[in-house]
Amino acid sequence: MAVLRVFPHCDIHLTLDNPATRSISFTVFQLLNAVGPYTLSPITNTCTPRYFAPHATVGSRLQRFANVDVTTGTITATGIGTNLVILETADTYIVIRIQVHQNILAWWFGNEKITTAQDPIYAHSQPSIYAMFSDDTTGTDRVGDITGHNFVRLSSGDTTILADPNSDGRIRGVAEGETDLEGSFLSITETIDVRVINYAQTRNILEPVKFGDMPNAANIHNILFVAEGFTAADEAKFDQIVTQVSTDLFLKQRHEPYGTLSSSINVFKAFTASNDRLVTCGFQVADNQISALSKGTPIPYEHKVSGDNYLVSELVRRVGLPMRGEDRNVRDLKDLWNSQGLNNFDDAKVSIRLVNAWKNSHSLGFLETRDTFFGMILGSRWADNNSTLGAPLAAVANDDDSAPLKAFVKRAYTFYSGKKAARSITMDPRRHPPELLFGDSRATSFMSFVGGLGAAAPNQTLGSAWVPDGTFKKSRGLIAMISNEHMHAGTNLNSSTLTANTINQDALLNATYVPNPNANIKKLRRDVPDNLSPSLDAMINTVAHEFGHSFNLGDEYEEFVEYSNFATERLNPSDTTSNFFDNYDNIASLEVIFDDANYLTNNSREIDPSKLKWNILPRIKLSAKLTSATQMNGGNLEVTVNSREANSWEAIRVAGDEVHLRRIVMQTDQGQQLPLSMTAADLLTGLTIVSVDESNGTIVLSSAGTLVPSPSFPEGASLYVPLKIAGVMQNVIEDKVFTELVSSKLPLNKDTDTSAVSKKADFPHRISDFKPPCQSARLVGLFEGGATWTGLVYRPAGTCKMRTSSGGEEHGEFCYVCKWLITNRVDPGKHHVIHTNFYPVAKKNE
Ligand SMILES: [Zn+2]
C-alpha cells in the first residue's frame, strides 16, 4: 500500500510577476519500510499530473494555470487562477492545489516561537510561512501558505544548537538550548525564538496517581496522563484535572468496567511544561461575522446551520471552497453546482442560510501556531493532504457531462475532503517529520519521550510499556494527553497508541490581527481565554470513550448516511483494503455476516446471526485468573487461583458445575480478541472439579475427554463457570433474541431508517414471547448503525459509551459486549462480577 507525501506540501502558491516566486521545486515521495523511521523514496517522475480548474466556467475547466513537470520536479506558473492537480501513480493518487497570483506583496512567520527536537538525522520542525498576494480578479486567495516553498531565506542563529534549515524549511536540533531562526525575503526580515529539546533522554518524572498493583506494574495495565499546552504555572491545574478524571473513571458506574477492574490498573502522570497555552489549530477561521456563521468558526464548519441541510463541511466537500468575493445568489449557485458534474450533490439540501455560511468560509488570515511541548494540532491544514488508493482514471478529453469527467471531478474534489475535522487532535506534521509520523508513530519524539519515562523503584523503566513495538502490550494506547485547549476535540490516534483530549467543548475561538506597520502583514493570533477551566464531566466521558478505542473498540455512533454504492465500495470481499470495520471487536459489517452471498448484486440486507462474532461470548457465573501455569497431576489438570477465591470454587465442586479454561489471546498488537479461538489449545470445556485446596488455591480438574496432548495454559488464563439455565449454556445474546435474529435475518432496530443519521439510542422492535430489560436499548443482540455509518454496519446494543459518551446516567455506559471485552483483556477473573452487576437481564418472561 503506497503512502505518498508531497514536498513542500499540497497547497502551492506561485506568482507571475516576481521571478523568485514564479516556480518551485517539488517532490513526490513514497514512504518505505513497514514501521518508522520511514525512508522517503522519490517517485516524482512516475506520477501523472491531471489538471482541473474548479472556479473556471463549465466547459473550460481542464485549463492550466501552471505546468507541473514531473521530470525536473518543477512547478511553473503560466497564468493567473486556481488548479486542483491530481498526481496519479499506478495505484495511488494525491491532490494538490496550485494558486497562481499576479504578485507577492509580503511574507511573515506563522510562529512567534517554536520547540523542536534534538536529532542526529531528522529535521523535525517546519516553521509556517504565510504571504500576502495581489488583489487579483480571478478570485484567488489574498493570503497563502508558502511554508517550505524556499522563497524565504532561512538561517540559524547558532548552528551548535540548531542546524541551518534544509531546502524544505525544516529545522533540526543539534543540542539542547535556545537560539533563533532568521528569515529574509522582499526586504522583510523576521526572527523567531527556537527551543531545542532532547525528547529521548531519561526522565524520572512518572508519578503514581492511583494504585492498582504498583509493584507488578510491568505486568498489568497502566494509564498515563501527559500535559500539552500547560505552562509551568499551570501544573497545579493539570494535577487537579488528572486527579478528578482518575477518580471518576474508577468510581462512577457510568464508566464501568474500569471501576470493577481497578486493582488491575495503575494510573501515572508525567508533567512537562509548554511555552504556550492552547494548541495549534491547522484550520483557518472565519474572520467576518455574519448571521449564519460566527467569526472564529473553523473552516470548514463541521456543523449544520439550518434544518435538514448539509453541514457546511459537507457542502464544501461537494462544491469546494468559495472563490474569494463569491457573490452569486443561491439560485445561480444551485444552477452552477447542478451543471458541474459534482459527486453526490443534492440541491434540496442547500438553503440560503447554508450558502451564506459557505460564502463566509473564507479568511484573510492563518492562525499563528502555538508553541507546545509535544506539537499537537487541532484539525489540519489544506497543505496537509493525504494520498488515497485508486488506479489511474480514464482520460478526459472534454469538460462535458460524461462519466469519465464526473469520475475526474470526484477525484479532484477530494482535495476538500481529505482533511481532519476541526475536532480531531493529532501530531502536527510541522512539528513531526514525515520520516517518523505514520502508523503507530513508535519513532516519534513523543514516543521517545514516553520510552524514557521512569519512576522510583520498581518502575524505573516503565515508560517502554506504552511504546509500541509490534507486539501486544497491555498498556498500549492507555495514554491520555490532556490538552489545555478550550476547542472541542478527542481523538485516538496513531494506530490506537495515544488518546488526546481537550478540556472544553467550544466550537469557535477568538483571534486578533496583530497590528503591523506593513499593512500587508496579517498575523492572526489567538486570544487566550482568561479562565481556561475544564468541563470535567464531559472530559472524563471523552477520555473513557477514547480509551475504548485502545481496547480495540470501534465507534458505535453514526455520522454519515449509507450511500448508494456503500456495499460495493466498502463491503466488497474482493477489495481487502476497503473494510476495516470488522477488525473492531464490537463492530460487524454485512461483508462478514451476510446471509446471501450475492448481496452486492441483489442488494440483500439479510444477515446470518450465526456469523456474528459476539454471539458466542458466554455469560459467566464464576471466574478466576490463573496465578500460575497449568500442570498435569496424574491424569488430571491442576490449576492455581488466588486462595482467597478458593471457597467459591469449592462451592462449584459441590454443585458439580461444568468448568471451562480459556487462554486470553490478543490476535494483533492492537489487542483484537474476536472471533474467539475455539481450538482445544485455547479453550478446554467439559471440565469438572475434583478437589479444591482452599489453603493455597490449587484446583484439580478432570475432563470428560482425554487430556492428550497435555493442555498447557499460562498464568493469566481464565478459569470460568459458564452460566447455564435448565442445563443450557447462556451466551450474551439471550436465546429468544437470537431466535428472533435467526428467523427475521434483520437487526433489532425498531427505527429502521438508514437514510438519516441518528445520534440517539436505538430500541429493539417487539420480539414475540420476550420482554426486554427495563432500559431496552441495553439489550444485547444486533443493531444497525455504527463505525460512523447509518447502515450495513452493525453493533451489539442499542446504546453504548462508544455510541454516546454524554447523556444522563442511564446512557454513557459501555454496552455489555464492550464491558465483556475490556474485562476479558484486563482481568478475566472479574467476569462474574461484571455479569452479576451489569448484565441487562430481560424481564421475567412467562
Ligand atoms: Zn459497545
Q: Where are the domains of the chain?
A: 4-195, 207-278+432-515+529-550, 288-359, 558-615+731-838, 620-722
**What pLDDT sits at residue 569?**
86
pLDDT surpasses 90 at 816: yes
For the stretch 385-434, pLDDT in tens is 999 989 999 999 999 989 999 999 999 999 998 778 889 999 999 999 99
For position 104, what pLDDT does the model report?
A: 98
Helix (H/G/I), strand (E/B), else coil: 575: coil
Angle between helices 235-251 and 536-550 (to 10 degrees): 70
For residue 838, how far is its CA from the centre of ligand 1 (angstroms)? 13
Using CA atoms, how far residue 688 sits from 118, 468, 698, 718, in Å, is: 61, 40, 14, 15
332, with CB counted inside 10 A (0-12, 13-18, 19+), is: exposed
pLDDT at 809: 53
- For the domain made up of 620-722, give the CATH fold: Thrombin, subunit H (2.40.10)
Question: Taking 90 as the threshold, does the pLDDT of residue 308 lie above it?
Answer: no
Give tens-digit pLDDT for 39-89: 999 999 999 999 999 999 999 999 999 999 999 999 999 999 999 999 999
Q: Read off the pLDDT band of 459 (50, 70, 90).
A: confident
How many Å lie between the centroid of ligand 1 and the Cα of residue 757?
18
Q: Which amino acid is at 362?
A: H
* C-alpha 817 to ligand 1 mean position (Å): 6
Å from CA of 718 to ligand 1 middle: 22
**Phi first, then psi: what are they for 675, rounded to 5°?**
-70, 145
Tell me the CA–centroid distance for residue 788 and ligand 1, in Å: 13
Cα–ligand 1 centroid distance for 845 (angstroms): 25
**Ligand 1 center–CA 774 separation, angstroms:** 18
Query: What's the CA-to-centroid distance between 801 and ligand 1, angstroms?
Result: 6
Distance 761 CA to ligand 1 centre (A): 12
> Residues 664-695: pLDDT tens digits?
999 999 999 999 999 989 999 999 999 999 99
- CA atoms of 462 and 208, how far apart (whole Å): 12
Say how many Å lie between the CA of residue 778 and the centre of ligand 1.
10
Dihedral of the CA atoms 250, 252, 257, 262 (nearest 10)?
20
Strands laid side by side in the 129-133 sheet: 104-109, 129-133, 143-145
- Would you list the DSSP string of 594-659? BSSTTHHHH----B-GGG-TTTTPBPEEEEEE-SS--EEETTEEEEE--GGGHHHHHHHHHHT--E
Calculate how far, in angstroms, residue 781's C-alpha sits from the geometric centre of ligand 1.
Answer: 11
- CA–centroid distance, 818 to ligand 1, in Å, is 4
CATH fold for the domain made of 207-278+432-515+529-550: Collagenase (Catalytic Domain) (3.40.390)
Taking the centre of ligand 1 as the mean of its atom positions, its distance from the CA of residue 244, in whole angstroms, is 25
Q: What is the pLDDT of residue 167?
A: 87
Whether the predicted pLDDT of 842 surpasses 90: no
pLDDT score of 808 = 61
**Cα→Cα distances 139→55, 84, 322, 335, 744, Å:** 8, 15, 9, 20, 57
Q: How many helices (H) and strands (E) does the chain have?
A: 14, 44
The Å distance, Cα 477 to ligand 1 centre, comes to: 18
Whole-number Å distance, alpha carbon 645 to ligand 1 midpoint, is 29
CA of 608 to the centre of ligand 1 (A): 20
CA of 549 to the centre of ligand 1 (A): 11
pLDDT in tens, 260-306: 999 999 999 999 999 999 999 999 999 888 777 889 999 999 888 88
User: For residue 831, with 0-12 CB atoms within 10 Å meaning exposed, 13-18 middle and 19 or more buried, which class applies?
Assistant: buried
Ligand 1 centre from 503 Cα, in Å?
24
* 214 Cα–ligand 1 center, Å: 29
Beta bridge partners of 156: 181
Q: What's the CA-to-centroid distance between 238 and ligand 1, angstroms?
A: 30
pLDDT over 50 at 846, yes or no: no
